[in-house]
Amino acid sequence: MNLPFNKDRVLSCLDGVLNNNTRLKVVAERNDGLKVCNFLNDIYKPLFPEIRVNETVINTETSVCLYTEDELGVITSTVSISWLDGEVVPKALMEEAALINKNNEVTLQIGRFYIGAVKEQSLLRLYFKCFVELAGALRVSTITGLVKSKDLRLHEGRFKADVLVRNTGLRFGSAHVFALVQWSLNRLGSRFYKWLGDLQSTTPKIFTAQDWNGYARPFASVQTQVQQELQQEAVKHLKGKVGDFGCGSAKIGLMVSDNNRVRSYVGIDASIEMTRIARVLLKEIEPINEQSIHHGLIEDYTLTSFETAVSLNSYYSWPNPLTTLKHIYNLIETDGIFILATPNKTLDLVLLDKQAKKELIAHPDYKEFREHNLKLINDKDANLVEMSELIKQVQSVGFKVEACHQEFYCGGLNFLVLSK
């Protein structure tokens, strides 16, 4: 039996996905499996009596089980995730789904999904966030599962799910008819990501999840000359363990992927879609150094320190710049270097657009890229800071200014080389 990946890889990816999520737990020990089985037998199986629930189906070599518990240790929800047809969705249905899709791509399957109490319905967001991030980390483009037919409007509307089989004929002994649906990662819209982001507050408060997740694809595909010049200059200063704060789709990571001076690269970004794309791109480039992407706020990252670090065009969206700068300072090792670049009030996007059009006018994503840039920079809360003020801020948290200038973006960008 040829499997797309083994369980160790899935668990490794899950470890990264759940790093900032202490509520979702993975069944790893026999006692965990027994607790989940008892929960399902007591609450879930009476509702769906035809579904098998025992230790052998909770934790297998081709599936993982997630669960949550309350402050007393009582389990409140559970779900199984598999990458083998028939493990949680019947094999015949998965074969039918493959015919409908006209491909043999790997899909994650979710099943035995149950949230125990009405007050815990917010867990739905946590779970879907996990599903999407895990699929992205594994480079799986779709997630497939059975849902109650009465819930199809929600999944089609908010989640942009494709209904593969509207009436599977399955009821599992319940009063509900089940449908087979599939969520394609490249079709999940801004409304869905906004729904995810609002719960975790993983995007800067002055910008919405829609702003950043909608920007992710055109940002990843469009590269202007002025962007490339900035990135190339920043990379000259990077070596050793590198941190990229507000990494977006990890363009810096791609540029240092074959750099022998760089031992490791960690990209950190608050946009779930940016980080999903970043993981895919870094995997495709096959870097020679260790590379990883972390989804979350910069000031929540505490996993490692860095010899050098960079933050390009992220500062202007930080709700509390001093707090974020201080946290970055604490993450950088003694004698380390931090490259900070952010737009100032003289930034002329009209001029930059005229220059970029000459090279990108035929690019299918340029118009969308341009519109998002204008929206973000022209937002009333965008922090376009003067160089003098920025210098005061970085010095106040402990940085020394080794060099600073406004030579990029036709003078519209503050570029600082800082040391600790």
pLDDT along the chain (420 residues), means of 10: 71 80 82 86 86 77 88 86 82 74 71 71 81 82 88 81 88 90 76 60 39 58 79 94 92 92 92 83 86 87 92 87 91 96 85 73 70 60 83 93 92 94
For the chain, give every residue range classified as CATH 3.40.630.30. 7-188
CA distance 168 to 8: 33
Q: Answer for the pair 162, 184: CB distance below 8 angstroms, yes or no.
A: yes
Query: Which residue do the tokens 């910008």 mark?
Result: 207
Q: Answer for the pair 343, 412: CB distance below 8 angstroms, yes or no.
A: yes
CA distance 272 to 134: 11
Query: In angstroms, how far is the first alpha carbon of the chain from the final one?
Result: 53
How far from 251 is each of 245, 259, 268, 403, CA to CA, in Å? 12, 14, 12, 23
Q: Quick one: pLDDT at residue 121?
A: 55
CA distance 28 to 5: 18
CATH of domain 209-419: 3.40.50.150
Q: Quick one: pLDDT at residue 189?
A: 65
Q: Quick one: pLDDT at residue 232?
A: 93
How far from 331 is each of 199, 200, 203, 252, 300, CA to CA, in Å? 27, 23, 20, 19, 11
For the chain, give every residue range classified as CATH 3.40.50.150. 209-419
Q: Quick one: pLDDT at residue 390?
A: 93
Q: Answer for the pair 79, 46: CB distance below 8 angstroms, yes or no.
A: no
CA distance 289 to 405: 31
Q: Answer for the pair 61, 8: CB distance below 8 angstroms, yes or no.
A: no
Strand partners of residue 309: 243, 338
Q: Quick one: pLDDT at residue 199?
A: 37
What's the CA angle centered on 35, arms 29 and 40, to 5 degrees? 125
- Alpha-carbon Rg for the chain, nearest whole angstrom, is 23
Sheet containing 290-295: give its strands across.
Answer: 290-295, 262-269, 240-245, 306-312, 332-343, 413-419, 400-405
Contacts of 72 (CB under 8 A, 6+ apart): none
Q: Quick one: pLDDT at residue 395?
A: 93
Q: What is the DSSP letter of 296?
A: S
For residue 66 the two structure tokens come to 């997630």
Per-state percent for the chain, helix, strand, coil, to nearest 5: 45, 25, 35
* Class at the top of the CATH hierarchy for domain 7-188: alpha beta
Sheet containing 25-26: give its strands across.
Answer: 25-26, 63-69, 75-82, 107-115, 142-148, 178-184, 162-165
CA distance 54 to 266: 40
